[in-house]
Amino acid sequence: MVEKFTHLDTGDIETTESFFSNRFLKARIESGNLSNEGLDLIFEENRSSEWQEKYWKQAKDNRLKYDEDVNQYITLILSDLVKGRSQTLINKYIVSMDADAGQTVVETSERSKKFNVYRINADYFLLNLGLLRSDTNILGNAYINKGGFYYSSAASNLKEVLGGRSTLSDTMEKLSLQFLKYVRILRHMKNSDSNFLSFNYKLSKLEIKKLERTLTEELIIKKKSR
């Protein structure tokens, strides 16, 4: 079901997907990170199967430069911040940024569960480092490698589940390879739009500490109940 809302200042009606998509794409352009940059649209045109087999790595590297799918994926996880449809699954698998998500699945052989754990925590890193943390502007590149590793692990486990590559595993791989770029785009989106998640700047230090303490207490209770 499509979620719609009304802008209080203009009265315009918009879907959550279009709201986030427009702002993310605008941030890409303004920050100099254009979609599909470096993609050669005729790279594989009229190529024989022998040529494609011989130059498979170059062909794959070229395909990874196509990132319209990443735009759509990030739009959807941003939209879910409002809808909250995935909140139950997120609450089940998410860990703190200083913990190791791999420990959550160390005793399971279920690739689908491992995929969900790594994907959910990778998304959590992306949104926190790009948008939600109040200190994103001073955090720098901390946790970047960890976030990229989570997306890489998600892609690997999904390929095991499906028996090969898929559109989603390719998307996860692109997010892994260019994790820092997408974090920077989200930071630009946050900093350039006065109407977007501005509550981050309105919380006092005392309120932030209270929120962090509450989240920590909830995490402890969740772990004890397992």
Q: How large is the average pLDDT for residues 31-59? A: 87
- For 98-116, what is each residue's pLDDT tens digit? 899 988 888 788 999 999 9
Q: Average model confidence (pLDDT) for the chain?
A: 84
Residue-by-residue DSSP string for the chain: ---EEE-TTT--EEEHHHHHHHHHHHHHHHTT--TTTT--TTTTTT--HHHHHHTHHHHHHHHTT--HHHHHHHHHHHHHHHH-TTHHHHHHH---TTS-GGGGSTT---HHHHHHHHHHHHHHHHHIIIIISTTHHHHTTTTHHHHHHHHHHHHHHHHHHHTS--HHHHHHHHHHHTHHHHHHHHHHHHHH-TTSSGGGGTS-HHHHHHHHHHHHHHHHHHHHT-
pLDDT at 183: 95
Q: Please say if the pLDDT value at position 201 is more than 50.
A: no
pLDDT at 53: 86
Place of tokens 């998410």: 94
Burial 23-60 (b: 16+ CB within 10 A, else e): bbbebbeebebeeeeeeeeeeeeeeeeeeeeeeeeebe
Please tell me the distance from the alpha carbon of residue 151 to that of residue 157, in angstroms, as a whole number.
10
> How does residue 198 score in pLDDT terms, banded at 50, 70 and 90?
very low
- For 154-193, what is each residue's pLDDT tens digit? 999 999 999 999 999 999 999 999 999 999 999 999 888 7
Domain map (residue ranges) of the chain: 4-40+53-224
Q: How large is the average pLDDT for residues 63-90? A: 87
Of the listed ranges 25-29, 84-88, 146-150, 155-159, the one predicted with least confidence: 84-88
Please tell me the distance from the alpha carbon of residue 171 to that of residue 69, in angstroms, as a whole number.
6
